[in-house]
Amino acid sequence: MNASLSSNNSLENDLAFDIEAVRRDFPILSQSISGHPLVYLDNGASTQKPQCVIDTVSNYYENDNANVHRGIHELSQRATDRFEAARSTVRKFINAESDAEIIFTSGTTEAINLVAHSYGLGHLSKGDEVLISAMEHHSNIVPWQLLSQQMGLELKIIPITLAGELDYPAFLELLGPKTKLLAITQLSNALGSITPLKEMIDAAHAVNAKVLVDGAQAIAHTKVDVRALDCDFYAFSGHKIFSPTGIGILYGKRELLESMPPYQSGGDMIKVVSFSGTTFNELPYKFEAGTPNIAGSIGLAAGIDYVTKLGIENIAAHEHTVLEYATEKMLAIDGLRIIGTAKDKAGVLSFEIDGVHAADLGTLLDHQGVAVRVGHHCAMPVMEFFGVSSTTRASLALYNNTADIDALVTATVKAAEMLA
Ligand code: PLP
C-alpha cells in the first residue's frame, strides 16, 4: 500500500475549518456500532445533522409551532416569519433573484415531478424531445419516461464514457430543434462524476431548450449559483445538506413558473375559490398546496447557515483531499476496481472487488462500524452500462476525515479476506 498520503495530520492541518470541532457538531457521529466507532460514509444517501439543526427544529416546536399564512395570532405570525425567512436563506444560498422563485417541496423527487407535470403538461407536446443522461438517478428518469408515454414525447439518452463521464460530443449531436428540455444531474450519485453543466446549459439554450438541473448530490459539495449557471430549474433535497428529511427545493425562473399551471391543488395555492371558478395564488404559493413542512424548511435554513459558515469552497477543497486520499488507498487493495473515474468528480467512491459480493461486503463493513451503501444506488442504467449488478459506495461529507478512510480500508481488506 502506498504510504505517501498516510500522514493524516499534514493533510488536515491545511484545512480552513477545524475538522475535529466540526465532527463534534454532529452528535450522531460519536456513537459506536458493534463495538467500533461509527464511520459514516453513506452521505450520498443522506447526511447527518449538526446540533444547530436539531436545536432549531426542536426550538421551533417548543416555541413557535403553528400553521403558516392563515392565523392572525402571534404563533402563526412567528411560524410564518420563520418559514418565509427560510425561503430567503435558500434564495441567497443559490443566488436566485427572488423569493418567488423558491418553491418548497418534499425533496428533489417531488421537485422533478412538479416540473414534469406542470412544465411538461403545460409546455411540451407530442414529438418533442426530452434529453437526459445515462447517469441519472431514477428520480430523473422515471418521471420523464411516464410523461413521454402519456404525451408521445421522445426521451433521448446522452451516453457516458467508460470513465463515467458525460459524452459531450454525443450530447451536442443529440441536441436539435426538437429538443425542448434537458434534465441533467450536476453530480452523479453512483459515480461521483460532475457534468459540464454551464456548457450544457448554454448549448441547450442555443436550441431554445429549457434546462432542469438535478442538484440532489451537488448541493452539499459545490457552490451553486443559479443565475451564473442560467439554469431554468434547479432541484435539491434538504436531507442531503445536513437538514431534515421531507423538505426540498425547486428553483425556477420566475417567468417560467408564472407560465406553468399548478401541480397540486388545495389550500394555500388559491386566491379565490367558488363553484363558478378558482383563481390561483401568486408565486411561490401557487405551487405549495396544503400545509407545508414548516419545521423542515426552518431546519433547512439552519443547515444552509451551517454550511455557509464553514464555506462551501472550503468544504469542497477538504472533500477533494479526502477523496484523493481514499482513491489512492483503496486502489492499493488487491482486486479492487473503482467504478467512476471521471477527471472531474466529487464525494463518491464506488467500487467492486473481484469475487466479492457487494451485499456481503457491506454487511461485514457494518459489523466493523463502517456505514456504506451497497446496491444499484437508484441508478440501474449505470450498473447495466458497467456490467455490474451492484457496487459498494463510500460517499463523503464535510465531517469525513482521513481516519475514516483508514478505517474503511482496514475494514475492507479484512472483509475481502474473509469473503475470498
Ligand atoms: N437525484 C440524485 C442524483 C440523487 O442522488 C437522489 C437521491 O439519492 C435523488 C435525485 C432523489 O432525492 P430524494 O430521494 O431526496 O428526493
| Any atom of ligand 1 within 6 Å of the Cβ of 243 | no
| Any atom of ligand 1 within 6 Å of the Cβ of 109 | yes
- d(CA 378, ligand 1 centre) in Å: 8
Of 32, 34, 42, residue with least CA distance to 372: 42
Spans of all domains in the chain: 2-46+312-419, 53-309
User: What pLDDT does 10 receive?
Assistant: 53
Pairing label, strands 179-185, 129-133: parallel
Q: Which CATH architecture has domain 53-309?
A: 3-Layer(aba) Sandwich (3.40)
Domain 2-46+312-419 matches domain 53-309 at the CATH topology level? no
| Any atom of ligand 1 within 6 Å of the Cβ of 189 | yes
> Between 271 and 2, whose confidence is greater?
271
pLDDT at 235 exceeding the cut of 90: yes
pLDDT at 5 exceeding the cut of 50: no
User: What pLDDT does 71 receive?
Assistant: 81
How is the chain split among helix, strand and coil, in percent rounded to 5?
Answer: 45, 20, 35
Nearest atom in ligand 1 to 136's CA:
3
Calculate mean pLDDT across residues 186-197.
Answer: 98
- d(CA 139, ligand 1 centre) in Å: 6
CB 12 within 8 A of CB 402: yes
pLDDT at 173 exceeding the cut of 60: yes
- d(CA 72, ligand 1 centre) in Å: 37
Q: Whose CA is nearest to atom 6 of ligand 1?
A: 216
User: What pLDDT does 374 receive?
Assistant: 97
User: What is this structure's pTM?
Assistant: 0.96
Q: Whose CA is nearest to atom 8 of ligand 1?
A: 45
Cell 480500508 belongs to 409
User: What pLDDT does 70 receive?
Assistant: 79
Nearest atom in ligand 1 to 377's CA:
8
- In words, the CATH class of domain 2-46+312-419 is alpha beta
Of 306, 279, 254, residue with least CA distance to 97: 254
| Any atom of ligand 1 within 6 Å of the Cβ of 216 | yes
Choosing from 46, 217, 219, 245 the residue with most ligand 1 atoms within 8 A of its CB, the one to mutate for a pocket test is: 217
Q: What band does 17 get if pLDDT is binned at 50, 70 and 90?
A: confident
Nearest atom in ligand 1 to 240's CA:
15
Q: Whose CA is nearest to atom 4 of ligand 1?
A: 216
CA 397 to chain centre: 12
What pLDDT, in 10s, does the model give residues 278-327? 899 999 999 999 999 999 999 999 999 999 999 999 999 999 999 999 99
Nearest atom in ligand 1 to 185's CA:
3
The percentage of the chain sitting over the pLDDT mark of 90, rounded to a whole number, equals 93
3-state secondary structure of 175: coil
The CA distance from 251 to 101, in Å, is 5
User: What pLDDT does 270 receive?
Assistant: 86
The CA distance from 274 to 46, in Å, is 43
Choosing from 42, 46, 109, 195 the residue with most ligand 1 atoms within 8 A of its CB, the one to mutate for a pocket test is: 109
378 is catalytic: yes
378, 388, 413, 419: the active-site residue: 378
Query: Which residue spans within 79-128 are E strands per DSSP?
Result: 102-105
CB 375 within 8 A of CB 223: no
- d(CA 366, ligand 1 centre) in Å: 23
Length of the chain: 420
Nearest atom in ligand 1 to 237's CA:
15
Name the β-bridge partners of 130. 155, 181
- d(CA 108, ligand 1 centre) in Å: 6
User: What pLDDT does 1 receive?
Assistant: 32
Choosing from 106, 184, 189 the residue with most ligand 1 atoms within 8 A of its CB, the one to mutate for a pocket test is: 189
What values do phi and psi take at 315, rounded to 5? -65, -45
User: What pLDDT does 13 receive?
Assistant: 61
| Any atom of ligand 1 within 6 Å of the Cβ of 137 | yes
What values do phi and psi take at 196, rounded to 5? -80, 75
3-state secondary structure of 178: coil
- Segment (H or E) for 373: strand 373-375
- d(CA 377, ligand 1 centre) in Å: 10
Least reliable range by pLDDT among 154-168, 264-278, 330-344, 388-402: 264-278
Q: What band does 15 get if pLDDT is binned at 50, 70 and 90?
A: confident
- d(CA 387, ligand 1 centre) in Å: 23
Pairing label, strands 102-105, 154-158: unpaired
